Amino acid sequence: MQEIGMSEQIEVDAEEPSREGTLARFLKVDYLRDLILLAAWIAIVIVFSVLSPYFLTTRNFMNIGLAITVYGIAAIGSTMVLISGGIDLTVGSVIGLASIAIGAMLTMGMPLGPAVLGALLVGALVGLINGVLIVQARINPLIATLGMMSIIRGFAFVYSGGVSHAIVSESFGFLGRGRVAGIPLPILVMLSLYVVAWAIMKYTDFGHYVYSIGDNALSCRLAGVSVKKWRYIVYIVGAVTASLAGLFLASMMQAALPQAGTGYELNVIAAVILGGTSLSGGVGNLLGTLLGVVIMGTLDNGFTLLNVPAFYQLIAKGAVLILAVFIDQLRTGGYE
């Protein structure tokens, strides 16, 4: 075998695309995809505006904003998980568990601040367990989180006795029903969280490592990056955002519901993938996720105004998810 000399090796390395060039191409792709998503949403708005006289109103758009806050907040953490090359199916169950946790702590007389912190810590514990199963036990993320999804939901039903409990707290109710300058507080919180998460993913080491691990975990490990540690953090962040979403849902409903969040993992994953995050990891952005969430919420709202039966809406959601995955596979060359 002929050995490659030092000069030849340098020439080979020089031919490889620079990191800056690769990032620039990714940014251009994201920018174009986000524009396409925005155009698709505008088209959907136009169609529903023609079909329903009640769609194109300020009040209805506020309703859409409120409706998407729960799985919109949860989608922030799920985006990070998918970019890192993982997947988390426990989102809906964590929403329900957080609802039960905050209800139980407020019923016991705990102040609002510590109760909220406690519910978020419950979510963090779930994320830690997910990390142990995936990172240490090396169980496939799909299987690990699928099993945890069932365990968490079952625990929520067992602890609550399978019944809902009212949450009587004006301060907690303001979290989901309050308004600031006429705009519902949950919408403002969700948008603020997207701005913060976008900045974290773009400008911090955490964001850099999440993208790098999703793109090539082996290279990161050889470069000295603690891949296990960052995967733990990603799953914890994903579960904490799901817990926060559960708090907003409980506040909106003013009740602790063990069934809260059932099926939300479908909405969340569909929105994230529709927003351009790749199932294979390494690619995605928060702006795309927000657009995906808005599109899913607009479709839900429009179908409801048109009195489309719920089971047809489930078919539509499943079709959107499959279409989003298909587009992702075409973009990444998954069928070659």
Residue 21 lies in a domain: no
Mean pLDDT of 24-43: 73
The pLDDT tens digits for 139-156 are 999 999 999 999 999 999
Confidence of residue 334 (pLDDT cuts 50, 70, 90): low
Domain residues for the domain of 252 are: 60-304+313-324
Residue 5 lies in a domain: no
- Cα–Cα distance measured from residue 175 to residue 164, given in angstroms and rounded to the nearest whole number: 19
Quick check: helix, strand or coil at residue 171? helix
Confidence of residue 77 (pLDDT cuts 50, 70, 90): very high
DSSP secondary structure string for all residues of 130-162: HHIIIIIS---HHHHHHHHHHHHHHHHHHHHTT
Confidence of residue 29 (pLDDT cuts 50, 70, 90): low
Q: What is the pTM of this model?
A: 0.87
Q: Which amino acid is at 139?
A: I
Residue 287 lies in a domain: yes
- Cα–Cα distance measured from residue 91 to residue 78, given in angstroms and rounded to the nearest whole number: 8
CB proximity list for 108: less than 8 A, separation 6 or greater: none
The pLDDT tens digits for 186-242 are 999 999 999 999 999 999 999 999 999 999 999 999 999 999 999 999 999 999 999
DSSP secondary structure string for all residues of 62-123: HHHHHHHHHHHHHHHHHHHHHHTT-----HHHHHHHHHHHHHHHHHTT--HHHHHHHHHHHH
- Cα–Cα distance measured from residue 232 to residue 327, given in angstroms and rounded to the nearest whole number: 29
Count of domains observed in the chain: 1
**Looking at 30-44, 102-116, 179-193, 256-270, which range is the least confident one?**
30-44
Ramachandran region of residue 294, left (φ > 0), alpha (ψ -120 to 50) or beta? Answer: alpha
Give the CATH number for residue 248.
1.10.3470
- Cα–Cα distance measured from residue 68 to residue 62, given in angstroms and rounded to the nearest whole number: 10
The pLDDT tens digits for 3-26 are 444 444 434 344 444 444 444 444
Residue 108 lies in a domain: yes
Could you say which DSSP state residue 57 is in?
S
Residue 6 lies in a domain: no
**Looking at 111-115, 132-136, 191-195, 322-326, which range is the least confident one?**
322-326
Residue 11 lies in a domain: no
The pLDDT tens digits for 89-125 are 999 999 999 999 999 999 998 999 999 999 999 999 9
Residue 9 lies in a domain: no
Residue 51 lies in a domain: no
Could you say which DSSP state residue 184 is in?
E
